[in-house]
Each structure stands twice: as structure tokens, then as C-alpha cells.
């Protein structure tokens, strides 16, 4: 018997469809920075719709929170507040706006903590309902990857799989590889005061392999050893420690 207690989610009650539709339609004309510019995918879902739908599936609807919102009027006011978050969240300009994203993530965490409290007596509560750890997300038919990408953006540990190897490659490029470069980005910010603008060091070629790519290499500390950093105009590649 399933002993899990769940509250009604926002998506089961209402969504600000006009805002989601408008943002989804507008995305079709975005030609810079959108995953559609990475690779063609036939049934690609708009990022705005994926982001809104994920948010609304993870956040409780106020009608099922009588202890916090006892009257219909209070419930509507709270729902309107959540709609405002969605309306901001779906805008293309806010795709990397950490203030807007963090507001949405905070609502998701709040609903998750409520779920954990509701299920604290569940026989597997310690494993399944840790208020400090959001559940991981898996899209087994990920295709162009819009849904796992947005799940990751909303703070979930995200997994994608697909029968089609092209889809797997797209998802690797969007969901698996970029987070690894977060560390490299931090590292490059640290070395920037030393090397200055990457363009200014282009002539400092130290290996033929590197020269082919028209970039410079540096030896820098890496996990207690030394590693090569290759710096170019449009890309940064970190070799293994050696």
C-alpha cells in the first residue's frame, strides 16, 4: 500500500497559460544561446513551457494548504503570487537570471520540505524524504533535452536518457558537460589576474597541439599537482594533470 501523502500541485489547479504560451512562441525566434542552435531536434519542447510545467508540478497549490490559507480569497492571493513567479520565470531574458531562478527554487524547496514533514512517519522517510535533498529528476525519453535541462536549472539533480544516440549526445552536451566547466570557470577567474585577457596571450604558444587551435597554454596548480590550461579566444580547455 502506498503510504505517501501528497498535496495537490499547482499544475492540477491552474497555470498562467497566456504568459507561458507567449514566451514559448517567442522562443522560436531566438537565434542566440538557445539549445536549438546546438543541434536540430524534431520535437523540441520550448524551454519556457518545460520550466513552467516543472515548477507547477513541484509546487503545492494553496487550495490544499488549509492550515496556511484557510479561505478561498487567501488561496487565490497566494496562487496569484505563484503565477507572478511563473510569469517572470518563463521570460527568455530571465533564463540565466539567478534572482528570478532562486525565487522559483525557493518555492520548490518550500513545497518539498512540506512533503517531507507530511511523510516523516513513512517507513522509508530517512531515504525518500530528506528535506535537505530534493528528489532527482529523470527524463527517460529526453529527446532534445528541454525538460532535463530545465529541471537542472530549477535545482534538481537531472538525468536524461533516450533510445536515439543523437538525443543522448545533445543531452550530454547540454546537461552533463556544462556543469563540469563550472569548476573550470572558477579556476579561470582565479588565474585571470595573472594571465590578463586571453587575447593578450595568444602568442604564448607552448605546444604544437595548442598552436593548431590558436591558443596559449599555462601550467597551473591542479588538485595538488600541476596541469595545463589552454586558453583561446572562444574556448577554454583544461588538460588532465600531468
Ligand X SMILES: C[S@@+](CC[C@H](N)C(=O)[O-])C[C@H]1O[C@@H](n2cnc3c(N)ncnc32)[C@H](O)[C@@H]1O
Nearest to 222 by CA among 176, 183, 181: 183
153 part of the interface to ligand X, by CB under 6 A: no
Grid cell in block for residue 169:
549526445
46 part of the interface to ligand X, by CB under 6 A: no
Q: What are the angstrom distances between the C-alpha of 8 and each of 40, 135, 239?
A: 37, 17, 49
Q: Closest CB to ligand X among 44 and 114?
A: 44
Q: Closest CB to ligand X among 59 and 170?
A: 170
* Region from 21-29, 51-59, 158-166, 230-238 binding ligand X, contact rule CB under 6 A: 158-166
45 part of the interface to ligand X, by CB under 6 A: yes
Q: Closest CB to ligand X among 85 and 146?
A: 146
Nearest approach in angstroms of CB 99 to ligand X is 26
Kindly give the pairing relationship between strand 158-160 and strand 236-241: unpaired
Alpha-carbon torsion, ordered 60, 61, 64, 65, to 10 deg: 70
43 part of the interface to ligand X, by CB under 6 A: yes
The single residue among 126, 163, 194, 242 that binds ligand X, judged by CB under 6 A, is 163
Question: HSE (CB half, 13 Å, CA atoms) of 58?
Answer: 25
Nearest to 176 by CA among 155, 153, 156, 160: 160
The single residue among 16, 143, 155, 198 that binds ligand X, judged by CB under 6 A, is 143
Nearest approach in angstroms of CB 159 to ligand X is 13
Q: Closest CB to ligand X among 20 and 238?
A: 20
Alpha-carbon torsion, ordered 208, 212, 214, 219, to 10 deg: -40
Q: Closest CB to ligand X among 53 and 210?
A: 53
Nearest approach in angstroms of CB 190 to ligand X is 36
Cite the DSSP H helix spans in 1-155: 17-27, 47-58, 72-89, 98-118, 125-128, 146-153
Nearest approach in angstroms of CB 135 to ligand X is 19
Q: What are the angstrom distances between the C-alpha of 51 and each of 69, 174, 188?
A: 26, 15, 30
44 part of the interface to ligand X, by CB under 6 A: yes
Which residues of this chain interact with ligand X, rule CB under 6 A? 41, 43-45, 140-144, 146-147, 162-164, 167
Amino acid at each position: 500500500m502506498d503510504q505517501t501523502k501528497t498535496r495537490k500541485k499547482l499544475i492540477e489547479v491552474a497555470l498562467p497559460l497566456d504568459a507561458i504560451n507567449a514566451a514559448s512562441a517567442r522562443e522560436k525566434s531566438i537565434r542566440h544561446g538557445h539549445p536549438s542552435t546546438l543541434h536540430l531536434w524534431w520535437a523540441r519542447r520550448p524551454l519556457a513551457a518545460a520550466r513552467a510545467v516543472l515548477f507547477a508540478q513541484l509546487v503545492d497549490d494553496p487550495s490544499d494548504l488549509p492550515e496556511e490559507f484557510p479561505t478561498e480569497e487567501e488561496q487565490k492571493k497566494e496562487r496569484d503570487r505563484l503565477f507572478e513567479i511563473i510569469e517572470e520565470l518563463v521570460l527568455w531574458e530571465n533564463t540565466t537570471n539567478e534572482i528570478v531562478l532562486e525565487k522559483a527554487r525557493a518555492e520548490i524547496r518550500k513545497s518539498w520540505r512540506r512533503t517531507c514533514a507530511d511523510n516523516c512517519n513513512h517507513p522509508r522517510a530517512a531515504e525518500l524524504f530528506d528535506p535537505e535533498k530534493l528528489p532527482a529528476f529523470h527524463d527517460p525519453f529526453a529527446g532534445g533535452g528541454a525538460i532535463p535541462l530545465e529541471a537542472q536549472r530549477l535545482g534538481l539533480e537531472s538525468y536524461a536518457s533516450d533510445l536515439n544516440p543523437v538525443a543522448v549526445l545533445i543531452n550530454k552536451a547540454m546537461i552533463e558537460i556544462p556543469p563540469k566547466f563550472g569548476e573550470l570557470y572558477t579556476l579561470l577567474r582565479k588565474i585571470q589576474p595573472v594571465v590578463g585577457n586571453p587575447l593578450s596571450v595568444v602568442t604564448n604558444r607552448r605546444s604544437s597541439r595548442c598552436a593548431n587551435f590558436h591558443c596559449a597554454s599555462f601550467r597551473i596548480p591542479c588538485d595538488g599537482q600541476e596541469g595545463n590550461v589552454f586558453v583561446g579566444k572562444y574556448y577554454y580547455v583544461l588538460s588532465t594533470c600531468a
